[in-house]
């Protein structure tokens, strides 16, 4: 690593385009990109890079350094340009100018060299990175593959296996790792000075002008089994996605074909992906996730409360999982339970979760102790007195929650944010039990709370801007994807889920087996269907033995002692060792008899009908939620469903998917089921009708 070089040189400067300058530092030409926020490769950047290379090559300079201003090196192609016609010049022309330059070209990387950005850096003869720089090809996350030669150059530098990992995960690697695998040539603490010094050394010591395209040393003995095994390894995680497989095919091409033919293959596959709906959906999602963080009417400079300590009420599955999120980022947590037995049980579950992660290599055993050391247990709510944020995570009972918030009001310090993890109840009613309703907010985590990324932040009628900014901000800090919504039963996610639940129950009573319904939704792309999901969550959640009246299949199952996965019996029977699910004929008979008792006619239901009756009531409800202003924008609904319930991201979420199907077709189907099946949930949302008339879109609709 080069250190402490002092930068003293005369700089002459030419502005090439709005975002690119050419500077001369004595004998070195610097092409400097300044295209905030992330130096994306917009057309004027490509033009500037091309012009800069031409001028620098024909100048007196002996070497060229490509460097960026701002927070990062080039973070990729400008995704906003993908929806329009291609604009010249092509990126390839600038890359060719770099690669074929007769003077050494050095890329100086800070921040993140991503996608097209890394592909540009790979056309330099050498790469110098700052200690915190990162390198990645995240195109797969946008439903694409690196389409600027990256699929052919990266494997030539890192070898096929590493390239496969980087390209199919999309995750970046650190500067240290990049240095080890040969992706960069040096780490420099003072980047600009270090890169200039490297360029001068390249001249004085006559370094060869290395073109990655000419290298084959790391691809000569790649076993054909590598691809087979790699595909098997990622199959489960990437089910349904096209882009990972296309990325693998490109690396195969790099191994099997010469560079130019590999490049042609890359282009064919890139165009194929670009044309398809998956990449459109995934690009839409990229912007949707970022849009969800923007709250209309919330001033940008709203101060949030610094969360130095957090209190959690309830050491059950939710409370323990929520506590882990805070301990993971070093925030001390106090968990309070009713009695010490329940407290110890809860803390033991948290410890065993951490130990399991450590056993898999995710964290060290020291991390386990550090994190457990940040979590203290108590049976006294008085210990919440100094907490900046308290999250209540007890079971769903409004009266209980109101009495808890009344107590929190008398215990917690002024300025603390009081949050409820309720998944459906009225935040306004909970807030009304306190003398400070403006400090009360919903923070609905999804189970398992230490794993699931979704966080619904629920604003009550009088919740303050500070409480909203705090909940959204801390949500981000603990690695969640927060989405703000308003109060209604079930908020955005569960309110839509309830509608799917109504139809799922009706369909099994009409003759479709739970396994069949689950299979249709699994094939659509969900990780599991509604019945497997109920079994996983526990059939007895919200079930009360004293009031159970055998009026639903679920009540009947609970009454017969079935609790879901946790006791090995639910809609399915579970293998005690492997947890593999098998359909249970007894359950199917119970459902059939229950249906017959209600006089429901049994019939064959097609997979298409199962899919429509599962998804359309959700879309209809999503539109009602939007029209009521419960969700700020259609894309927020999609972010909730993708992160909270595993709606397949490559379809963009329920709102985007409905737009893809076509809103007039969606409206027709809803009308059809409304007239044949009836029920409030099939009453068509006026917003859908309005959007059909105006040719509008649910995913782009915002309040």
Q: Which residues are catalytic?
A: 119, 139
Q: Is residue 79 involved in binding ligand 3H9 (CB under 6 A)? A: yes
Which of helix, strand or coil describes residue 180?
Answer: helix
Q: How far is CA 43 from CA 30, 89, 91, 201, 286, in A?
A: 20, 7, 9, 33, 21
Q: Which residue in 15, 80, 100, 204 binds ligand 3H9 (CB under 6 A)? A: 80
Listed as own residue / partner, the contacts of 557-565 with beta carbons closer than 8 Å and 24 or more positions apart are 557/587, 557/590, 560/590, 562/587, 563/538, 563/539, 564/534, 564/535, 564/536, 564/537, 564/538, 564/539, 564/540, 565/535, 565/536, 565/538
Neighbouring residues of 494: CB distance < 8 A, sequence distance ≥ 6: 423, 424
C-alpha–C-alpha distance, residues 648 and 668, integer Å: 24
Footprint of ligand 3H9 on 283-302 (CB under 6 A): 287, 290
Task: Determine how many CB atoms are found less than 10 A away from the CB of residue 25.
Answer: 19
* Min separation Cβ 82 and ligand 3H9, Å: 8
Pairing of strands 28-33, 20-25: antiparallel
As a three-state string, the secondary structure of 208-277 is CCCCHHHCCCCCCCCCCHHHHHHHHHHCCCCCCCCHHHHHHHHHHHHHHCCHHHHHHHHHHHHHHHHHCH
Q: Nearer Cβ to ligand 3H9, position 99 or 119?
A: 119
The verdict on 76 binding ligand 3H9 (CB under 6 A) reads yes
Nearest to ligand 3H9 of 139, 388 (CB atom): 139
Scan for tokens 């295209």, then name that residue.
35
Q: How near is the Cβ of 72 to ligand 3H9 at its closest, in Å?
A: 6
Q: Which of residues 26-45 bind ligand 3H9 (CB under 6 A)?
A: 37-38, 40
**Contact string 358-397 vs ligand 3H9 (x = CB under 6 A):** ----------------------------------------
Asked if 88 and 55 touch (Cβ cutoff 8 Å), the reply is no
Identify which of 694, 681, 544, 697 has the alpha carbon closest to the alpha carbon of residue 615: 681
Choices 20-28, 114-122, 301-309, 319-327; region in contact with ligand 3H9 by CB under 6 A: 114-122
Q: What's the angle, vertex CA 396, arms to CA 499 and CA 627, rounded to 5?
A: 40
Smallest distance from ligand 3H9 to CB 19, Å: 13
Distance CA 134, CA 347 (A): 37
Residue owning tokens 């400090």: 439
Judged by beta carbon, residue 171 or residue 344, the one nearer ligand 3H9 is: 171
**Binding region for ligand 3H9 (CB under 6 A) out of 22-30, 70-78, 324-332, 381-389:** 70-78
Task: Assess 116 for contact with ligand 3H9 (CB under 6 A).
Answer: yes
Count the neighbouring beta carbons within 10 Å of the beta carbon of residue 258: 12
Residue 181 and residue 158 in contact, taking contact as beta carbons nearer than 8 Å: yes
Min. distance of Cβ 287 from ligand 3H9 in angstroms?
A: 6
Q: Select 504 or 642, whichever has its Cβ closest to ligand 3H9.
A: 642
Does residue number 14 form part of the binding site for ligand 3H9 (CB under 6 A)?
no
Of the residues 48, 104, 115, 262, which one makes contact with ligand 3H9 according to CB under 6 A: 115
**Residue whose C-alpha is closest to residue 388's, from 333, 328, 459, 444:** 333
112 binds ligand 3H9, rule: CB under 6 A: yes
Pull the structure tokens for residue 121. 């850096």
Q: Does 91 bind ligand 3H9 (CB under 6 A)?
A: yes
CB neighbour list of residue 634: distance below 8 Å, 6 or more residues apart: 622, 626, 655, 656, 697, 698, 699, 700, 701, 702
User: Of the ranges 137-145, 460-468, 554-562, 645-653, which one interacts with ligand 3H9 (CB under 6 A)?
Assistant: 137-145
Q: If binding is defined by CB under 6 A, does position 78 make contact with ligand 3H9? A: yes
First vs last C-alpha separation in the chain: 52
Closer residue to ligand 3H9, CB minimum distance, 172 or 442: 172
Does residue 138 touch ligand 3H9 according to CB under 6 A? yes
In the list 148, 242, 333, 507, the residue contacting ligand 3H9 (rule: CB under 6 A) is 148
For residue 95, report the phi and psi dihedrals to the nearest 5 degrees.
Answer: -65, -40
Give alpha helix (H) positions in 432-513.
465-477, 493-510
Selected range binding ligand 3H9 among 144-152, 241-249, 254-262, 678-686, rule: CB under 6 A = 144-152
> Among 143-151, 174-182, 318-326, 470-478, which window interacts with ligand 3H9 (CB under 6 A)?
143-151
Inter-CA distances, 238 with 241, 243, 288, 361, 602, Å: 6, 9, 21, 22, 37
Closest to ligand 3H9 by CB, 75 vs 509, is: 75
> Is there binding between residue 146 and ligand 3H9 (CB under 6 A)?
yes
Query: In terms of Cα–Cα distance, which of 329, 327, 333 is closest to 310?
Result: 333
- Choice from 23, 51, 99, 139 touching ligand 3H9 (CB under 6 A): 139
114 forms part of the interface with ligand 3H9 (CB under 6 A): yes
Q: Based on CB atoms, which residue is closest to ligand 3H9, 87 or 359?
A: 87
- Selection from 344, 308, 328, 270 nearest residue 91 by Cα: 270
Interacting stretch for ligand 3H9, rule CB under 6 A, among 62-70, 113-121, 537-545, 652-660?
113-121
Smallest distance, Å, CB 293 to ligand 3H9? 8
Residue 147 interacts with ligand 3H9 (CB under 6 A): yes or no: yes
Question: Is the CB of 14 or the CB of 702 nearer to ligand 3H9?
Answer: 702
Q: Closer CB to ligand 3H9, residue 155 or residue 377?
A: 155
Q: Which is nearer to ligand 3H9, 80 or 582 (CB)?
A: 80
Least distance to ligand 3H9, CB of residue 1, Å: 24
Question: Which residues are CB-contacts of 45 (< 8 A; sequence separation ≥ 6)?
Answer: 17, 19, 20, 33, 35, 39, 74, 78
600 binds ligand 3H9, rule: CB under 6 A: no
Which residues in this chain contact ligand 3H9 in the complex, by CB under 6 A?
Answer: 37-38, 40, 72, 75-80, 91, 112, 114-116, 119, 138-139, 142, 146-148, 150, 287, 290
């Amino acid at each position: 690593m080069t250190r402490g070089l002092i930068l003293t040189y005369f700089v002459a400067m030419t502005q090439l385009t709005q975002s690119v300058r050419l500077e001369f530092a004595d004998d070195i030409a610097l092409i400097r990109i300044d295209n905030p926020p992330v130096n994306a490769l917009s057309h004027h950047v490509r033009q500037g890079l091309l012009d800069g290379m031409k001028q620098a090559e024909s100048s007196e300079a002996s070497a060229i350094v490509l460097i960026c201003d701002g927070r990062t090196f080039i973070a990729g192609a400008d995704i906003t340009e993908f929806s329009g016609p291609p604009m010249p010049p092509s990126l390839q022309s600038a890359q060719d100018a770099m690669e074929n330059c007769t003077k050494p070209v050095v890329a100086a990387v800070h921040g993140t060299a991503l996608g097209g950005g890394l592909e540009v850096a790979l056309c330099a003869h050498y790469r110098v990175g700052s200690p915190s720089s990162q390198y990645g090809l995240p195109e797969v996350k946008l439903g694409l593959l690196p389409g600027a030669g990256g699929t052919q150059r990266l494997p030539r530098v890192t070898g096929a296996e590493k390239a496969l990992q980087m390209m199919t995960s999309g995750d970046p690697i650190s500067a240290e790792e990049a240095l080890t695998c040969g992706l960069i040539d040096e780490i420099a603490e003072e980047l600009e000075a270090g890169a200039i010094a490297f360029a001068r050394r390249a001249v004085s010591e006559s370094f060869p002008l290395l073109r990655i395209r000419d290298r084959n040393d790391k691809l000569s003995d790649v076993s054909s089994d590598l691809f087979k095994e790699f595909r098997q390894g990622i199959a489960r995680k990437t089910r349904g996605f096209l882009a990972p497989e296309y990325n693998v095919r490109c690396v195969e091409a790099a191994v099997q074909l010469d560079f130019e033919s590999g490049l042609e293959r890359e282009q064919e596959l890139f165009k194929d992906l670009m044309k398809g709906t998956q990449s459109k959906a995934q690009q839409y999602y990229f912007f949707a996730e970022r849009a969800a963080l923007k709250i209309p009417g919330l001033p940008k400079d709203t101060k949030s409360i610094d969360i130095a300590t957090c209190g959690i009420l309830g050491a059950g599955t939710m409370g323990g999982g929520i506590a882990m999120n805070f301990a993971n980022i070093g925030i001390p947590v106090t968990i309070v339970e009713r009695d010490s037995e329940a407290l110890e049980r809860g803390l033991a579950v948290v410890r065993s979760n951490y130990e399991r992660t450590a056993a898999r290599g995710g964290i060290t055993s020291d991390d386990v102790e550090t994190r457990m050391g940040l979590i203290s247990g108590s049976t006294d709510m008085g210990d919440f007195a100094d907490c900046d944020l308290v999250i209540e995570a007890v079971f769903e009972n409004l009266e209980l929650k109101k009495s808890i918030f009344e107590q929190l009001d008398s215990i917690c310090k002024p300025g603390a944010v009081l949050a409820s993890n309720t998944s459906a109840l009225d935040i306004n009613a909970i807030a009304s039990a306190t003398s400070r309703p403006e400090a009360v907010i919903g923070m609905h985590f999804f189970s398992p709370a230490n794993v699931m990324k979704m966080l619904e932040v629920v604003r009550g009628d009088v919740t303050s801007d500070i409480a909203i900014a705090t909940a959204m901000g801390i949500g981000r800090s603990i690695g969640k994807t927060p989405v703000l919504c308003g109060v209604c039963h079930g908020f955005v996610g569960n309110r839509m889920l309830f509608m799917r639940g109504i139809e799922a129950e009706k369909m099994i009573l009409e003759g479709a087996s739970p396994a069949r319904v689950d299979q249709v939704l699994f094939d659509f792309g969900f990780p599991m269907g509604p019945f497997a999901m109920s079994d996983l969550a526990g059939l007895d959640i919200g079930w009360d033995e004293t009031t159970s009246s055998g009026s639903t299949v679920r009540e009947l199952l609970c009454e017969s002692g079935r609790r879901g996965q946790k006791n090995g019996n639910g809609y399915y029977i579970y293998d005690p060792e492997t947890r593999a699910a098998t359909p249970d004929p007894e359950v199917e008979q119970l459902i059939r008899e229950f249906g017959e008792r209600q006089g429901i006619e049994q019939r064959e239901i097609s997979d298409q009908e199962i899919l429509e009756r599962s998804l359309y009531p959700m879309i209809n409800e999503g539109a009602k939620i939007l029209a009521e202003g419960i969700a700020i924008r259609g894309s927020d609904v999609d972010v909730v469903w993708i992160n909270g319930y595993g709606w397949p991201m490559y379809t963009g979420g329920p709102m985007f998917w409905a737009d893809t199907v076509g809103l007039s077709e969606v409206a027709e189907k809803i009308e059809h089921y409304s007239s044949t099946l009836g029920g409030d949930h099939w009453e068509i949302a006026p917003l859908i009708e309005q959007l059909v008339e105006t040719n509008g879109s649910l995913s782009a609709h915002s309040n």
